[in-house]
Structure 1
Amino acid sequence: MRVRDVMTAQVVTGRPTDPVQQIARIMSEIDSGVVPVCEGDKVVGLVTDRDIVLRVVAEGRELGTPVAEIMTEGVQTCRDDDDVASAAEQMARLQMRRLVVLDGNDKLAGILSLGDIAGEDRSKHVGRVLEEISDPGDERR
């Protein structure tokens, strides 16, 4: 099975200049803890609800702070035509709960999360990824 068959394809994005509060509002409206940040067709970062808590709330920053100042850069990706098992292995190796999915033209195609994989009854992949993510030696949990 391919990543495109299980990924979340309807993804709302933000821009680097968007204020953090706007991204938080988007997360609330779409019931998601992650928003990719794009410049045109290129994904330049990712903002999670955890980023907002740790890099805005905990540091006492203003809600009008541009999301570019708090987003995670160096986004990990996979391709929409990758095998789900290989994407799950990548997630385990990188200790990540989600990957940005790109199409053949390097444009955002969706997001692959552990929930997407679990929803397709591939529990052995999810179990292995969760085990790797939960390794106490890593702070990215």
Structure 2
Amino acid sequence: MLVKDCMSRPVIMVSPIEDVAGAAMKMGHNDVGALPVTDGKKLVGMITDRDIAIRVVGNRNDPTTTVSDAMSKELLYCHEDDEVDSVLRNLADKQIRRLPVVDADKNLVGIISLSDLNDERTITVTEALHGITKPSKLHSQEM
């Protein structure tokens, strides 16, 4: 199965110049824990509820802090024509629960998460989750 067959769309996005309070409200309104950050259709980062909690609230920064100052700038993504099994392995290896999905021109076209992949696979969602939850320093929130 290909990513485009099970990814979520449309994607709720946020601009790097928006403030984190607005991003948090979008997350709450749409019941999501992460938003791709785009400059137009191009992916420039991701912001998660954890980014906001650690980088903004935990550092006692103002909620008007821009998304670009709080987002994860490391661009991890997959392509819409990738095989789901390889994406599951990547989620486990990188210890993440979701990935933005881009087309051949690197335009954001969707997002894929563990919940989108919840059926039988060569590598199961359970195996991916096991890899994701191993203790590590892969996602240090230090700025």
In the alignment, what sits opposite 2:7?
Answer: 7
Structure-2 residue corresponding to 1:49: 49
8 Å CA contact 1:75–1:100 kept in 2: the answer is no
Contact 2:89 2:123 in 1 (8 A): no
Between the aligned partners of 1:137 and 1:90, the Cα distance in structure 2 is 15
Cα offset for 1:140? 3.4
State how far apart, in whole Å, the 2-side matches of 1:78 and 1:13 are: 17
Q: Any idea what the Cα deviations from partners look like across 1:88-141, whole Å, max 9, x if unmatched?
A: 1111111111111101221001111111111x4449521111111121234539
Question: Number of paired residues?
Answer: 140
Mapped to 1, the partners of 2:89 and 2:25 lie a distance apart of 32
Quick check: 1:140 aligned with 2:139? yes
| TM-score, normalisation: structure 2 | 0.91
Q: Give runs of ≥4 in structure 1 deviating > 3 Å.
A: 120-124, 137-141
For the residues of structure 1 that align with 2:100 and 2:139, how far apart are their CA atoms? 17
| Separation of aligned partners in 1, 2:114 and 2:139 | 15
In structure 1, what is the equivalent of residue 59 of structure 2?
59
1:1-141 pair list within 5 angstroms: 1-118=1-118, 120-122=119-121, 124-138=123-137, 140=139
Q: Percent identity?
A: 36
Match for 1:130: what amino acid?
A: L
Between stretches 131-140 and 22-31, larger displacement belongs to 131-140
Aligned-residue Cα RMSD (Å) equals 1.7
Q: Residue type matched to 1:26 in 2?
A: K
